[in-house]
Structure formats: C-alpha cells, structure tokens
Chain A
Amino acid sequence: MIQFLNENAAGLFEKSIEHFFISMISLGIGILIAVPIGLFLAKNKRLSNMVLTTAGVLQTVPTIALLALMIPLFGVGKTPAIIALSVYILLPILNNTVIGVQNIDSNVKEAGKSMGMTNFQMMKSIDLPLALPLIMSGIRLASVYVISWATLASYIGAGGLGDFVFNGLNLYDPLMIVSAAVLVTALALIADYLLSLVEKMTIPKGLKISR
C-alpha cells in the first residue's frame, strides 16, 4: 500500500486538484444560474411549483446517462462534464432559494413595499439577504453532491479522481479505488468546511442575533 501511494502520490494529488476544479466551476455556474432564477420564481407560487416539480423529475435522470447525453452535444472532455454537473445541482439550490424567499415574514416584505422599494430593490435588499441562510445550506448540499458526481465525469474524459476509480475497476485494483474514494470524501468535507466559512461571513449579522 505504501508502495502504491509512493508511486501514485503525484498523480493522486494532481487528479484531486482537477476533481476539485471541475466541481467548483460547476458549482459556481450552478449558483449563478439557480439563485437569480430562484429569486424571480419565488414571486409566483404556481410557476415556482411547476418549475420545481419539473426539475425534480429531471433530477431522476441518472447522472451517468446525463453525462453520456452530453457527448453528442458537446463532445468529450471537461466542458460537457461541467455543463452536465451544473445542470444537476440546479435543483437543490433553486429549491432552497425559492423556499427561502417564500418563507420571509410577509410583514417585512410588506414594509419594504410600503416604503416605496421597487421590485428589484426588494429582491436585492430583502429577498436575497433574508433567504441567504437557506440558499447557503442548498449550496453546501450541492457542493457535496457535485464532488461525488464529478467522479463519474471521468467516464466522458473529464479527468479527476474518477480516473483512478475506473482504472481500479478495469485493473481490479481495490487499493486504487479505495484511495480515490477516500480522497473524494476528503474533498467533499473540505468544500463543506470552506463553504461553512463563507456562510459565516455572508449571512447578515442581524439574523444571527437572538435575544
């Protein structure tokens, strides 16, 4: 085992970085798409229900099938993998954004409106900051998902720790599979920890104080 690690340390490290990179890019794209859409969708209960249900149904498409579907559209490599993973994590973020906004105390929204805030100002100064705790928990959930699914992205040539897993499967080398799996878990934990720091920084102070 020591020997295996000695021989593959550089490779494992490089693949871990690659894995992390793919996951975080996908997560970033997912956030950039899902949060604004969620903020808009939350204004309309019927529409948001429809969209969330549809997204929920699409979520049941197996990851590997979605990745395979990307090949005819975008070829192989990192790009199709990132696209597929971004699509995949839309739901948890979208869902939490919509719920977060819809759960805001109606008196607060009422106050904003009665003070003469425009819809955009309400979204920026009321909806987003007050829904942020829920949005952040959606993002943390999504980060764990995306890191685990990124393993499969190696299947369409995106690289990452999935390479070790698939090689291990082909060569029947359990050590290879296990070491990659442990690293994926470690990455997920690291990402979750980093995001918890982000969460602490971004959530408005007034929401954390309770009498």
Chain B
Amino acid sequence: MLSIKGLTKVYGRKTKAVDNLSIEIEDGEFVAFIGTSGSGKTTALRMLNRMIEPTDGVVTINGMETKKMDPVELRRKIGYVLQQVGLLPHMTIKENIVLVPKLLKWPQERKDEKAKELIKLVDLPESFLDRYPSELSGGQQQRIGVVRALAAEQDIILMDEPFGALDPITRDTLQDLVKELQKKLGKTFVFVTHDMDEAIKLADKICIMSHGKVVQYDTPDNILKNPANDFVRDFIGENRLIQDRPNMKTVEKAMIIPKTVNIDDSLDHAVSIMREYRIDTILITNKSQKLLGYLDIEDIKEGVRKKAELIDIMQRDIYRVNINSKLQDSVRTILKRNVRNVPVVEDDNKLVGLITRASLVDIVYDSIWGDDEEVQTSDPSKDIGVDI
C-alpha cells in the first residue's frame, strides 16, 4: 500500500506547489492525478520517488518510509514513465528495457529473458530488441518507455502524462494496452494527466487537484455523479468537450479560399461558377470583399423558377467566425449546428477564408498521418470551392 500523509512542497518562501496532500492508494489500484497546469499534480507524483524532495509530509510504501530510504534504491523499486519517453539514444531497445535490471546487476540470461517477455507484452516483434530508439516511431518508443518501467518487476509504476505527446489514435491504443497490462499484472499505477476522458477511461480512482490541494479523491463514477464542487463540475465538463481536438491554434491555418460572386452578378453567373467548380454553396460579397450572404443549391432552384435576382434570394443570416478565433470553437459550431461550412472574416467583415467539413477532415488526417508521408493535396480546383 502506498500511503501519502501531509505531503507538501514549498518553493521559495510562500509558493505551495503541493499543499498537505493526503491519500491512500491500495495495492493494484490505478490512480490518476488530474488538474489544470500548475495544480501540483506532477510535483506530487515526482515526490513519490523523490525526484523532487518533499518539504514536508510522509510517504510510506508497505509501511516503509521513503524518506528513510536511499533515493537511488527507492527509484530502482519504482517504475517511472516520462511524457517525452526519454529512451537512451545510444543504447539498443534491449539495453533500454533492462536498464534497471542492469543497475541491479541481474545475470545476463535473466535480463535477456525479461527483455523478450516484455517486448511481447507490448505487441512488438522480438527483432526490435536490437534496434535503436531512433528507428522506432513515437508510439513504439512509448511502448518501450512503459515496459522499461516494468523491467525490474517494480510494484509501483509512476507515469507523468505518458500519452500526452502522442497522436489520438496511438494514444488510444496505448491507453488500452496500459489498462490491460495493469489488470494483468496487478501492479499499482499512479499517473498524471490533464485529460479527464483519459482519467475516466483508465483510473480506478481519480484525484482532482487544484492549487496544490486535493479537491476530490474518488472513483470516476462517483465523481461524475457527485462532483464535490463547481470546480470539479467545470473541470469535467470543459475537459470532456475539449478532448481530442486537432491541435491547431486559429482557424487561419485550416481555412481554404472560397469561391465567391459579387452581389451585383447575375444568378446565371453564380450557377455557372458553381457548376464549373462543382460546389453546392457560394458566398456573396460586395466590391470590397465584405461578406454579405450565401446561396446554396436549393435557393438557386427556387430563384431560377421564380426568375428572381441573386440579391433577392440570397441568405443573409450566416454564421461566421473571426480569423483570430480558435479552431476548436468553429469545430464545435460545425458539429453542433450541423452546418457544412463556416466563412472566416476579418474584423471589418471582409471575407478571407472558409472552414469546411472537408478541411477539418484534412486536419485530422494530417495530424495522424501527416508526419509519415507526404499528404496528397486535393485537386486545386476543389480547394477553392465549398466541398460537400
């Protein structure tokens, strides 16, 4: 059992990074420390293996006070997974895996056996043992990072945002893998995250922290049913919405240049442009490129039947986003309002771009596969139009 009593870390004179943290972690439990940045969750985790020395408080592992142990010995007994993996680049995967066993002076055969056993555990081929970290992908490296923490048969594994640097799909697979490992091996896992969904998915118990203090420590179900206060409520809500968004700051990077017609143009002209570029919606601007409205295929049918002018049938009620707004907000709009696309305007309502569902698909595609291969850009004629 891992028992933490009154754990405190003070930086300088006043700043309390962790303030009187007291929780009990049973053997074989999967516990998540969660909080916003600066909540002290990482500091708390790092005090458990004395990577950071506590200012005050007692941590006991199975009745043994960590304070009284040699920090080097202590760290060899506790597995640790870093966010940035931190494999040693000059050592093979095998040497990386059996780093702690080597420090503990295990015989060679036992080390070899362990390395083979562990690499199987994370579904990687044995031939990887002789490779070097730079030959592996990020996700594969983190798999090795995880088993490295298990190599010396540690009973407690600490993980500092272990999946934070991975793309959504890899992250998901690794989360499943770690959960499965934890169930299979029955070890105590303590991990830090800022992703509520990750915490809910993995943890048996969640410790929500804010300003160095524990706000709530309970099972995910209980936290979701009975949030201790507004902070917890906000935290759950906010994070469940934010998770898994493409990591792009403003809409500018995702937008495409839309096809437009002038307000004074004829309806026929608009139709011919739409036909030429195979688009179903067209934006309407005035001479100085200010956005006035849009026309979609339904409007045009109607208009042609009534022989109306473009200016009479265009839709003036149009949702738009500012060029500086965050991409995640426009994603929300597109999904919630079920619109096909959102025009992007500058402060003075000048049309500069367009976010479409298709361009969002491209972003997701890029963020997942973009690094591995050259992403084929779509046909330029499509790029300027409004795709369906």
Contact = CB atoms under 8 A, between A and B. Distances in A.
Contact of A130 (B82, B86, B89): B89
Given A111-B82, A206-B134, A209-B135, A116 B90 contact: no
A77 interface: no
Contact of B76 (A107, A116, A204, A206): A116
Contacts of A211: 134-135
B88 A205 contact: no
Contacts of A105: 86, 89
Contacts of B75: 113-116
B73 A126 contact: no
Nearest to B49: A114
Given A204-B90, A206-B92, A207-B89, A114 B72 contact: no
Interface string A197-211: 000000011110111
B294 interface: no
A211 B72 CA distance: 34
A129 interface: yes
Interface in B56-93: 72-77, 80, 82, 84-92
Could you say which of B51, B76, B88 has the most chain A C-beta atoms within 10 Å of its C-beta? B88
Contact of A209 (B73, B86, B132): B132
A117 B86 CA distance: 14
Interface string A118-161: 10010001100110000000000000000000000000000000
Contact of A129 (B76, B82, B90): B90
Given A111-B86, A115-B103, 13 more contacts: A108-B87, A111-B82, A112-B88, A114-B51, A115-B99, A116-B100, A129-B90, A204-B90, A206-B88, A206-B90, A206-B91, A206-B134, A207-B89
B54 interface: no
30 contacts: A107-B84, A107-B86, A108-B86, A110-B82, A110-B86, A111-B85, A111-B86, A111-B88, A112-B88, A113-B75, A114-B75, A115-B75, A115-B80, A115-B100, A115-B103, A116-B100, A118-B72, A126-B88, A130-B88, A130-B89, A130-B90, A205-B132, A206-B88, A206-B89, A206-B91, A206-B92, A206-B133, A207-B90, A209-B134, A211-B135
Contacts of B51: 110, 113-114
B101 to A, nearest CB: 10
A108 B103 contact: no
A115 B75 CA distance: 6
Contacts of A110: 51, 82, 86
Contacts of B73: 116
Interface of B: 49, 51, 72-77, 80, 82, 84-92, 99-100, 103, 132-135, 148
Contacts of A126: 88
Nearest to A207: B90
Nearest to A121: B103
Contact of A108 (B49, B80, B88, B148): B88
Could you say which of A113, A115, A204 has the most chain B C-beta atoms within 10 Å of its C-beta? A115
A17 B52 CA distance: 56
How many chain A residues sit at the interface, stated as a range, is 20 to 34
A52 B110 CA distance: 45
B316 to A, nearest CB: 53
A164 B87 CA distance: 54
Top 6 A-B residue pairs of the complex, sorted by shortest distance between their CB atoms:
A111-B86, A204-B90, A116-B76, A116-B75, A206-B132, A107-B86
A112 B72 CA distance: 11
Could you say which of A110, A126, A205 has the most chain B C-beta atoms within 10 Å of its C-beta? A110
Interface string A9-40: 00000000000000000000000000000000
A202 to B, nearest CB: 11
A116 B89 contact: no
Contact of A117 (B49, B72, B87, B91): B72
Contacts of A130: 88-90
B74 A116 contact: yes
A116 B134 CA distance: 23
Contacts of B135: 209, 211
Contacts of B89: 105, 108, 130, 204, 206-207
Nearest to A108: B86
B76 A115 contact: yes
A144 B106 CA distance: 45
A107 B80 contact: no
Contacts of B103: 115-117, 121
Contacts of B91: 204, 206
Contacts of A116: 72-77, 100, 103
Contacts of A209: 132, 134-135
A204 B90 CA distance: 6
Nearest to B100: A115
Could you say which of A125, A126, A129 has the most chain B C-beta atoms within 10 Å of its C-beta? A125
Contact of A114 (B80, B87, B90, B134): B80
A190 to B, nearest CB: 29
Contacts of B76: 115-116
Nearest to B151: A115
Contacts of A108: 86-89
A114 B133 CA distance: 18
A206 B133 CA distance: 7
Contacts of B132: 205-206, 209
A111 B148 CA distance: 10
